[in-house]
Structure formats: structure tokens, C-alpha cells
Chain A
Amino acid sequence: MSNSNFTRRGMLKTSAVAGAGVALPTIFTASSVAAYTNEPTGSSVTLGFNVPQTGPYADEGADELRAYQLAVEHLNGEGDGGMMNTFSSKELQGNGILGKKVEFVTGDTQTKSDAARASAKSMIEKDGAVMITGGSSSGVAIAVQGLCQEAGVIFMAGLTHSNDTTGKDKKANGFRHFFNGYMSAAALAPVLKNLYGTDRNAYHLTADYTWGWTQEESIAAATEAMGWNTVNKVRTPLASTDFSSYIAPVLNSGADVLVLNHYGGNMVNSLTNAVQFGLREKVVNGKNFEIVVPLYSRLMAKGAGANVKGIHGSTNWHWSLQDDASKAFVKSFGTKYGFPPSQAAHTVYCQTLLYADAATRAGTFNPCGIGEALEGFEFDGLGNGKTLYRAGDHQCFKDVLVVRGKENPTSEFDLLEVVEVTPAAQVTYPIDHPMFAGGALGTCNAG
């Protein structure tokens, strides 16, 4: 007779428990074996770069990826160090983060929230990413920010301009360096008033998702406050390519200003269609018809070609800025890739450095420690002047640029000119501003 304790039933029970344990995603078990989600244990730390490699914002995504790779090089002590040399915090030494070599994985958000969440989830669960960053669409950024909050990793938002990212959808684990719709409106309105006066009728064409809605709301509120009348607000699907049916009604609407709340490929097509329909030569109510593109980028300007000449908008950063930090970044990026960086590239490069610096100052990769280090952090030397990461909503407050499509570009990159640098104080709003109301920051989740 055998005295063995193995029984068929016991074996089955053990197998079931072990199987369930193995099958459980690490995202749910990390806290039981580590202090926080994806605590790095080896000699390297993995960051997850989640950018659109396809879809209407793919070009922005490609430029973001270039900047991420440059930031990783600089953090690991390769290259010329870029803005690490000008950054006011001197914690980063070019030896990775906390002595661990920085590695990265990438995902394609496809400019779709579900695809972006899936790729972020995969990077956290399978690749062990300790931080997720990216997003060239606010819909995507908000979706991924929510996922990171649940998973217990930091989300350093890339190009997301919706008020909601740090408004009603803000999260304790999420941080945004990029500016937002309210800030664009606050910077643009005085310039538009000087240029076009106070008696104007504006017609809005708006990308139909969170970014478009909040930018439309912000611009309409700011322009109405200075006396403009909003004639109509028309929503256009993000997937639209031909905007002629939306432009045609503008002709007979009595509007003398068209506000294009579009970005990326959408903006290229809608602006092209607007110019084709002769809006820029049109005179309405005795005034020249004007087009405004509140959120501008050089990549879009390149796509729209000569159509951008003389058109005003706002931007987070521009390569022609002459401060030491901007020059260092342009030199570093331009030498590596042969062309100047976009605002998308700039903001994600900054976010990567800011994350690394916060981890170094906190002495940990624990998201709660990093969050604390970022909250209320004041810095300079990253190309936007003095900047504050406000603790209450995790939004950066810094100068905003008002730009105009250049009439006589001297090169293929020289498409926008900076008209005005609006000081941070002018674009700062109270934390309980109605446009940012709803939702709570909550508490940080370490997994």
C-alpha cells in the first residue's frame, strides 16, 4: 500500500489553483509580490510609448516616437544630452533612471480609444512598463489615463488638448505638460480682437469628440466675451475627409469668421476645402472673411501648404524659439533626424525627462512617490519658460504661443511665425473653473 498523500481530487484542486494563479494577469497580482505595479527588479526599467502610428494623427505620432527615442538616448547618457543640459533640475546624470538603463516598448493607438487601451494594457501586463506616455488625441489620452489609474502606473500625457484631460476626466496617476483648449482661447482672443475687431460673426466646424467639444466651448466663450457672435457650431465626424458639404453652408450663413476646431489630417482637409471655396477672398458684412485654426502645428501647416498663409492659431511650442533650451532641443533633434521637431515631439520629450527627474528626486519608481514629486513642481529650461505642474489638477501652466502661417517661408520648415508669447498668468484659470468642473483627481494608485 502506498502512503502517498497524492489523490486525484487533491491533484485537480492544486492544478486548478495553480492554473488560476498563472492565468491571472500580473496587473492584479503585482501588489502581492511587489510594492507597486511593475516594480523594476533588474538593471533596466521599461517605459511604454503609446502613439498613433496609423490614423489621422499618425504623423504627430511618428514625431512623438522620434522624440521619445531621443529622450531615452539622453537619459542613458548617449548623444549631446539635449534639454537635460538646460533643465533647471540637475538630478538627471545620464545614467538612466535611478541607475537603471531606460528601455522602451511602443504601441500603436491607431487614434482609437479601444486600440490605445489594448496596447497600453499589453505594455503594462506583458512588457512590464512602469510608465505609459503618448496619445495624439484627447479621446485616446483620457481612455489610457483611466486605464493607467486602474493599473497603478503613471500616465504622462502626450499631445492632448481637451480641457477634460485635466478637467472632469483628470486622474491622480495622470499628468499633462501640453496646454489645453481654454489656454488656446485665452491666448488667442486678445490677438483676434486686435486683428479683426469686436464685431464679428463666427462659424465653428468642430471635430466631434472630447477635444473638439471643449475647444469649441473655450473659443466660443472667449470670443463671445469680447463681443463676437457665434452663428453656428457644426460637428464633423473625426473620420471625415471631404468637408465640402460642411463648408458650403458657411458661404450663406452670414458668418465672417470660420473657426476650424480640427487637428491633423482633419485640419489639412477642412482648411484646404475652405480655401477652395474661396472663403479667404470673400467679403462679408463689409469685412474680409477670416479663418482661425485655434490649435496649430508645423506638421499640419506642412500638409496644408500655402493655404495656411496668414491664418492665426496657437501652439504649445515652436522650433524657432530662441531660448537656450529650445535651441538645444532643436539642435539635438535636427542633427539626429534632419528636420526640426514638432510641438508633439517637444511635449513628449519634456514629459519623459520630467518623469525621469521626478523618479530620481523621489528615489523610487512607485507611482505615488513620482506623483508627489511632480505635484507643485516648478521648473525651467524645457523651452516654455517657467512652468508649474499644478498639484490640484496635474496641469502644466506656462507661456502659450500665438502663431501665424508665414507669408514668405524661407524653407520647408519655416511655415509658422510666432506673433505673440502669451504669459502663463494670462492663461491660468482657477482649479474650479466651470469648464473644468466635474470629476475628481482621486488618490494615486500604486497597483
Chain B
Amino acid sequence: MDAILLQILNGLDKGSAYALIALGLTLIFGTLGVVNFAHGALFMIGAFCAVTVQRLFSLSFETIDETQTDFLGNALKVKTPYVEAWFGPQMGGAIIDWAVPLAILFAIPIMVFVGYAMERGLIKHFYKRPHADQILVTFGLAIVLQEVIKYFYGANPIQTPAPESLSGIVNLGAIIGMDIVYPVWRVVYFLFSLLVIGGIFSFLQFTTFGMVVRAGMADRETVGLLGINIDKRFTVMFGIAAAVAGLAGVMYTPINSPNYHMGMDFLVLSFVVVVVGGMGSLPGAVLAGFLLGILESFASMNEIKSIIPGIDQIIIYVVAIIILLTRPRGLMGRKGVMED
């Protein structure tokens, strides 16, 4: 029983990342009709915003310590971070320790700008082109972006730890008398994803801007005929979708050390999530994200793998095939939406 609950938690955790990326993908597809294969790269850029902030906070000056030697036998150059010199060792240390959460503040404007630049600079030229062209250009863009990151940050994963106080484990089963220990940061990630998803839905549901965007998603032409500049709003939504992917990436860094390829690892799965959820359906993307995350975790259980070896690698695709055969529009896709 403990093992099952643990895998559900794991699934929710994985599903959080799938849901956040799929949410952004759906927003872009639903508003602009673009199949954005560079969305995984946005997740990766978000993660590297956290790496950058951590490095900025850790920028150091060197002093020579004659009493110690380095690996070549020369006097040791001791590095002291500027923030520790400016704010004292305790405060400076705390700032470095909290680099990942603080990176959210840095990542939001950066990601909105990256999204905006991507849409205005490249993707808008492909609105009237076939989906195949959009896939090719965005996939190419994703490769360029990951090579740029690789050039500056190297190919190996970069350790980006969570704050000390959020690095431990918590016994989530204590309330019900069970022993279900789980990493605190993964719980934080799940709650954070719920917050972001809730925020996006509230924004679309309860603001005028959101209402116009929803109307535009349902019938772009009519909204345009009412004199509303829907294209401008959709560009803003592209920026917001990029920020959502970026935030997912920032908060994911303590779970798995980021590397230049991490976006591609999530991209294909996130597309499957979007298709299973129903193209253009925001609640569908979220539901499918969590559902497929949980299924993937269950399939990784030794008991399941001993019956069907390798099932953990294909379960998501098997379920996707079954769902598309039985519900061709996906779990929450509606008739007539995105079918013109």
C-alpha cells in the first residue's frame, strides 16, 4: 500500500511538469494555431535561468591564501562570493541558498521576452504555412537553442540544489499512520504547479483579457470583426505560455540537474499529453498530464515490469493509442474545435 501511494505521489510530481508544459503548448496551439516544437526548449531555458541566477549570486572575487596550495602546488586562490562580502556571510549564504526560488523573479520577464521575441521574430511568419512547416521551423529553433545553451554551459548536468530548509524529506503518511516519506522539494513542485495552473485558469476565466482570449480561441474571426486586436492578445498569450514553461523549468532544477537536452526529454511526452487531453483543451492538458504521469510511475513498479518487461517505456504511448482509438478528440476535446 505504501508503495502504491508513493507511486501516486511520484506520478503527481511527474505529471506536474507534463501538465505545465502541455498547458503552455495548448495555449499556443489554441490561440495561434501553431504546433510549437520549441516549447521544450523554453522549459530548458527556464531551468538555465535558475542556473544563471545561481551563478550570478555565486560570482566571487579571489584572494591568495599563501598557507594553502592548489592542485599545481601554487598558492591557493580562495573564492569569496560578492554577496557574502556585501551582506555578510550569513545573509549572503542565504541568498545563494535560495537562488532557485529567487530565480522565479528573474525568469518571468526573461521568459515573457523570449516568448515574445520568438513569436514576433520567427513564428508569426509561419501562421499561414502548413503545420509541417511550423513543426520543422520550431524543431530547428529548439535545436539551435539547445546548442547555444550547450556552448555556454557545457553538456553535463549542473547541480542546482533546493534551499537547505526545503531539501529534506517529509513523512506524508504520518497523518494516516503510514510511513510515506517524500522529498520536500517535490511536494513544493507539485503545489507550485497547482498554483500556476490555478493562476492561468483564473486569468482566463475572471479577467476581461482572458475572456477575449477565450472568445478568440473559440472564434477568432468574429472577435476580430468586433474590432478587437486579437493578434496582439495572442502574442501576449505566447509570452505567458513561455513563462509557464520557464517557471516549470526553474522549479524543476533541484529535482534533476539541468542539462541542455532536458527540453527534448519532455517535449514528445508533452505532445502526447496534449493530444490525449484533447487539442486546444486547457483542462484536458492538465488532466492528461497528471494521469499519464501517474500511469508512467505505476508502470515503473517492479511488480508490473516483471509481468510486462519494458512497459514503463511505452505505457504513455499505449494509453495514447487506446484513448485516441476510443475517443479520437482526446479526453476533453470538443467537437468542432480545431477540426477545420
Binding site for B on A (CB under 8 A): 53-55, 58-59, 62, 232, 234, 237, 239, 241-242, 244-246, 248-249, 251-252, 264-265, 268-269, 272-273, 276-278, 281, 299, 302-307, 319-320, 330-331, 334-335, 339-340, 410-411, 413-414
Contact = CB atoms under 8 A, between A and B. Distances in A.
Interface string B306-328: 00000011000000000000000
Main SS of the interface on chain A? helix
Given A265-B259, A277-B182, A303-B156, 10 more contacts: A54-B155, A234-B305, A245-B14, A252-B3, A273-B255, A278-B169, A303-B158, A320-B71, A330-B71, A339-B71
Given A246-B300, A248-B6, A276 B186 contact: yes
B13 interface: yes
22 contacts: A54-B155, A241-B256, A244-B255, A244-B297, A245-B14, A245-B296, A246-B300, A248-B10, A248-B297, A249-B300, A251-B6, A252-B3, A252-B6, A276-B186, A303-B157, A303-B159, A305-B159, A319-B71, A320-B71, A330-B72, A334-B72, A410-B68
Nearest to A244: B10
A268 B256 CA distance: 9
Nearest to A59: B156
A237 B314 CA distance: 12
A355 to B, nearest CB: 27
Contacts of B169: 276-278, 281
Nearest to A242: B256
A375 to B, nearest CB: 36
Contacts of B159: 268, 272, 302-305, 307
Interface in B132-159: 150, 154-159
Interface of B: 2-3, 6-7, 10, 13-14, 68, 70-72, 76, 150, 154-159, 161, 167-169, 181-183, 185-186, 255-257, 259, 262, 265, 296-297, 300-302, 305, 312-313
Contact of B181 (A278, A303, A340, A414): A278
Contacts of A278: 168-169, 181, 183
Given A237-B313, A248-B7, A306-B161, A276 B255 contact: yes
Contacts of B186: 244, 276
B157 A276 contact: no
Q: Is the contact region of chain B dominated by helix, strand, or loop, or is it mixed?
A: mixed
Nearest to A330: B71
A205 to B, nearest CB: 11
B117 to A, nearest CB: 26
B158 A245 contact: no
Contact of B301 (A242, A249, A335): A249
Contacts of A251: 2, 6, 181
Contact of B157 (A268, A335, A414): A268
A249 B157 contact: no
Contacts of A302: 156, 159
A16 B71 CA distance: 63
A278 B183 CA distance: 7
Contacts of B161: 305-306
Given A277-B181, A278-B168, A334-B72, A62 B155 contact: yes
Nearest to A237: B313
A234 to B, nearest CB: 6
A306 to B, nearest CB: 7
B155 A411 contact: no
Q: Interface centre among A234, A277, A307, A339, by most B CB within 10 Å?
A: A277
A249 B312 CA distance: 14
A288 to B, nearest CB: 15
Contacts of B168: 278
Nearest to A339: B71
Nearest to B147: A54
Contacts of B312: 245
A276 B10 CA distance: 13
A242 B14 contact: yes
B185 A276 contact: yes
Contacts of A276: 167, 169, 183, 185-186, 255
A210 to B, nearest CB: 17
Contacts of A340: 71
Closest 6 CB pairs of A and B: A58-B155, A245-B300, A278-B169, A305-B159, A59-B156, A276-B183
A331 B156 contact: no
A169 B31 CA distance: 55
A242 B71 CA distance: 34
A266 to B, nearest CB: 10
Contacts of B181: 251, 277-278
A244 B185 CA distance: 13
Contacts of B71: 319-320, 330, 334, 339-340, 411, 413-414
B155 A232 contact: no
Contacts of A272: 159, 256-257
A59 B153 CA distance: 11
Contacts of A299: 156
Given A278-B168, A413-B71, A241 B262 contact: yes
A13 to B, nearest CB: 46
B72 A245 contact: no
B302 A249 contact: yes
A232 B313 CA distance: 20
Contacts of B185: 276
Given A265-B156, A278-B183, A340-B71, A252 B302 contact: no
A306 B13 CA distance: 24
A411 B76 CA distance: 9
Of listed A58, A245, A303, A335, residue having the most chain B CB within 10 A? A245
A331 B71 CA distance: 8
A239 B183 CA distance: 23
A269 B10 contact: no
Nearest to A299: B156
B200 to A, nearest CB: 24
A245 B10 contact: yes
A268 B257 contact: yes
Given A269-B157, A411-B70, A232 B302 contact: yes
A59 B156 CA distance: 6
A301 B237 CA distance: 41
A245 B157 contact: no
Contacts of B265: 239, 241
B177 to A, nearest CB: 16
Nearest to B254: A276
A246 B6 CA distance: 11
Contacts of B70: 411
A59 B154 contact: yes
A252 B156 contact: no
A410 B68 CA distance: 9
Nearest to B70: A411
Contacts of B10: 244-245, 248
Contacts of A239: 265
